[in-house]
Amino acid sequence: MDAMVRELSYAQAIQEAMALAMEADERVFLMGEDIGVYGGAFQVTGDLVERFGAERVMDTPISELGGAGVAVGAAMTGMRPVFEFQFSDFATLAMEQIVNQAAKMRFMLGGEVSVPLVMRFPAGSGTGAAAQHSQSLEAWLGHVPGLKVIQPATPHDAKGMLLAAIEDPDPVMIFEHKLLYKMKGPVPEGHYTVPIGKAEIRREGRDLTIVATSIMVHKALEAAETLEAEGIDVEVVDLRTIRPMDKATIIESVKKTSRLLCVYEAVKTLGIGAEVSAMIAESEAFDYLDAPVVRLGGAETPIPYNPELEKATVPQVPDIIAAARGLVQGTR
């Protein structure tokens, strides 16, 4: 890598994005449980309370519904709150404010009011946090008109998409996989944005398209390296945005490769892969398919505490390799 290219961790990239936004716009402030002196459950806010003060990095009581309500109200008055949930699972405690208020206010008030709100959700398994702290609920919120839902997979995108989200006039939900926080990658200095609603082709190929989200992008890329040695050329599409979904990029990729594997950590049933599959079935890409679309999602079970069982409930690199190999060889 060029010596001039700066590397940051995923968590550092998010922190830098928040700091830049707060420096540029006094309306931006942070809210969440233990984000102040403690620095956040995953140490993402870090020392921002020392840099910007407790009035702009606000510790909230242990009430997700209450905190989310304050954030929605603040956004409606013109502020730009960034609300951090300790775990994405706790969104279940604030669904009234997220789904019935934030997502619907612009529509119900005839466009006279916007809700420029960002909600950050540390998500996913792999930390031994068990069933109530390890879920992937992005498809829940992706079902709701009025919300934008994003899943950056790299430090570069974490910073750029968060900055884009903070500047967006509508509520944006950002799901950050907990295992990605320590991942490092190139991150430009200063302000830049990554567009919401645009997928990214991480690897070009001719034999099979893998559409993946979040940490599964990296597992798909690792699987693609193994498959290349077997003569199977895989294209990996990083979905990045759940809603609005970049249908055009996926359709063109499938038309090129004629096969599609959807890989995501959330429970397979009614997950993101179902939407991608249906979208392909309803598009011109359907006539290009040489095999049925395959979904590779999480098991139909709550996430176990036992580390081996936890690992077995979500797709791993060998699972992706087997599914992809089966699709290309016609055994799936």
133 is catalytic: yes
Where do the DSSP E strands lie in the chain?
A: 7-9, 28-32, 57-59, 80-84, 118-123, 148-150, 172-177, 184-186, 200-203, 208-212, 234-238, 241-243, 260-267, 294-298
64 is catalytic: yes
The contacts of residue 193 (CB under 8 Å, 6+ apart) are 160, 161, 163, 164, 167
Measured CA distances, 183 to 8, 11, 179, 195, 320 (Å): 8, 8, 8, 22, 21
Measured CA distances, 162 to 58, 82, 183, 247 (Å): 19, 10, 17, 22
Measured CA distances, 5 to 8, 185, 189 (Å): 10, 9, 9
Quote the CA–CA distance of 188 and 157 in Å, as a whole number.
Answer: 10
Helices 247-257 and 272-281 meet at what angle, rounded to 10?
Answer: 70
Among candidate residues 64, 84, 200, 265, the one labeled active-site is 64
Among candidate residues 133, 156, 177, 218, the one labeled active-site is 133
Question: Which residues are marked as active site?
Answer: 64, 133
